[in-house]
Structure 1
Amino acid sequence: MPSLHHLPAPAKLNLFLHVTGRRPDGYHLLQSVFVLLDWHDTLHIDTRADGQLLRHDLHVALPPDDLCLRAARLLQRESGTALGCDIRIHKAVPWGAGLGGGSSDAATVLLALNHLWGLHWPGERLEALALQLGADVPFFVRGLPAWVEGVGEQITPIALPPEVLHTPLALLKPPAAIPTAAIFGSPLLKRDTPRATVAAFLAAPMRFGHNDLQVPAQAWRAPTSSDEDAATPDTQASDGRGVTHALGVMQARFGNSRMTGSGSTVFAWVDGNTPLDNTLSADDVTALAEAGPHGVHWVGRVCRVLPQHPLLDLAPRTAA
């Protein structure tokens, strides 16, 4: 049976994220630019003839709503195929980071199975299906830098200026995994940022806008059992104070910083005078976090923006 191995599922970055309003049904209206990074999970997918859908990489029992299996199940049902698959994922993009790792994995499953199962659905059809899995999944299926509006479902590809593609980004993720629902429900969330234009973004893409979710993310505190727990460095790094600390050290080192998505990852553009390696060493991350032995819980990496998804050709669009 056919297989595809070493399939990348790239991380996503929000270069800015504005909340421009709220619909009567409670969903927030957003504007953002999404880009893909060269930091990715790696998937291995084998076709099965018996129709079973299995994921083998995790060492704990998978929840019934595992997003990759949901993606495979949805495509299997909608296409009517009798084929199944085995999925293995090597995780590199951290969970709870605001980098879209789970959504990207699900999109890579859809793209790969579209090919392995011989469906040959066009990108438009696969993208419409992906929306049932979450607002971010269609972006990964589309596979191009995009201006995103509405509740995240309005995706318009844009051509990025060369400086965005050629300038590295430093990313630093504190231990915090901040609940998205808590951020959008926060009384600190600003919901009336004026609507922006693509032209305004393109005029200054590396300095444009801000992230409206950053202030409520910094204010978020995890439930603690005691005041003593609340004072420990580990606890402080695991809530919004970790985001604040990451913003500070990135600002001090690189001169700019902001959070991506609902956090907790912070990023900064790196100028040409800073020596780079793809992966910041553990010592570098510890030094950036100034957290001593607690630095082991921080993740750092230097990335570049991708011009397109590496698997874009697995679901070509029928229209330009």
Structure 2
Amino acid sequence: MLVFPNAKINIGLNIVEKRADGYHNIESCFYPVGWSDALEITLDEKFSFQSDGIAIPGNASDNLCTKAYQMIAADYPLPPVKIHLLKSIPIGAGLGGGSADAAFAIKALNQHFNLEISFKKQLDYARRLGSDCAFFIPNKPAYCFQKGDVFEDIDLNLKGKWIVLINPGLHISTVEAYSGIVPKRSVDDLRTVLKEPIENWKYKVKNDFEATLFPKYPLLEEIKKALYNQGALYAAMSGSGSTLFGIFDVEKDLTKHFADFTVWQGLLD
């Protein structure tokens, strides 16, 4: 079985408070984008995980796809499989690629072997693997809160808008990103602001990580400004970085303009 785990962007990201368990409560809109990995699951004599494309740090046993298989196999009669991942979404880039791989593995195993795992239980499995994994089970625009693992539908439709994602190759760990953050509640309710015309977002829709990471990595702010200079209706950093994105009314080919970086561009659904 072959599936294509896609990335997501954060439209707005407010760090609300630090939790007793060490995590942070956030408020954000997660929106799927078409930048995808490829994940293939086939029957084999014993379980194995292997990957090609972008190198994934750590051992195969630590990969979230492996952990997804092991979780389900503990509850359901799964045969041994080979999981092969072709990694295209940059790692540690604020795009949720690893979380998407894990969530799509859950969905693919359920479908391929007719396990009839309920939607709620798939969400529960995903939440055990990571804060934003559960989003990729329904995989549709959502207002996400608490650790990012609780969400509700949001009336936001960007279908037909053109998006350009720029990854400059900087790896920013979650620990580093949060180290300069002072949590606080946003003045504006993100759900309300996102109902306004997209041209207004740049004045109200903020990613809290930008305030601390831009001074440390000026290149990130330069890329954001360049996206606006190219006509973006809205531009921001996704997640804790280092990928930035611009949303446009018309198709743009910015591969030459950002020739030194990894660029993905396409239509939003």
Fold in common (TM above 0.5): yes
How far 1:210 sits from its partner (Å)? 0.8
- Asked whether 1:55 is paired with 2:62, we answer no
Write out per-residue CA displacement over residues 43-92 of structure 1, whole angstroms, 9 at most, x where no aligned residue: 111123x4x3211224787343111111111111122x141211112222
- Asked whether 1:78 is paired with 2:70, we answer no
Q: Is the 8 A contact 2:78 2:113 kept in 1?
A: no
Q: Is the 8 A contact 2:49 2:66 kept in 1?
A: yes
- Asked whether 1:118 is paired with 2:153, we answer no
Write out per-residue CA displacement over residues 87-139 of structure 1, whole angstroms, 9 at most, x where no aligned residue: 11222211121111111011111110011222011211111111000011100
Structure 2: gaps of 5 or more residues: none
Match of 1:37 in 2: 33
3-state secondary structure, aligned to 2:93: coil
Q: Partner letter of residue 238 of structure 2?
A: T
Distance 1:77 1:103, change over 3 A: same
3-state secondary structure, aligned to 2:194: helix
TM-score (norm 2): 0.88
* Number of residue pairs the alignment of both structures matches: 262
Match of 1:171 in 2: 165
Out of 267, 271, 274, the position equivalent to 2:245 is: 267
CA RMSD of aligned residues (A): 2.2
Distance 1:26 1:198, change over 3 A: same
Q: Is the 8 A contact 1:178 1:263 kept in 2?
A: yes
How far 1:173 sits from its partner (Å)? 0.9
Q: Is the 8 A contact 2:60 2:66 kept in 1?
A: no
Q: Is the 8 A contact 1:131 1:153 kept in 2?
A: yes
3-state secondary structure, aligned to 2:208: coil
3-state secondary structure, aligned to 2:151: strand
How far 1:258 sits from its partner (Å)? 1.1
2: CA distance, partners of 1:151 / 1:204: 28
1: CA distance, partners of 2:198 / 2:118: 31
Greater strand proportion:
2
2: CA distance, partners of 1:78 / 1:66: 19
TM-score (norm 1): 0.75
2: CA distance, partners of 1:70 / 1:200: 38
1: CA distance, partners of 2:29 / 2:78: 38
1: CA distance, partners of 2:185 / 2:152: 22
- Asked whether 1:284 is paired with 2:257, we answer yes
Match of 1:193 in 2: 186
Out of 4, 10, 22, the position equivalent to 2:6 is: 10
Report percent identity of matched pairs. 24
Match of 2:263 in 1: 300
Greater gyration radius: 1
Q: Partner letter of residue 244 of structure 1?
A: E
- 1:17-32 equivalences in 2 (<5 Å): 17-32=13-28
2: CA distance, partners of 1:246 / 1:284: 10
Q: Partner letter of residue 150 of structure 2?
A: Q
Match of 1:64 in 2: 61
Structure 1: gaps of 5 or more residues: 221-239, 287-294, 307-320
Match of 1:230 in 2: none
Match of 2:104 in 1: 108
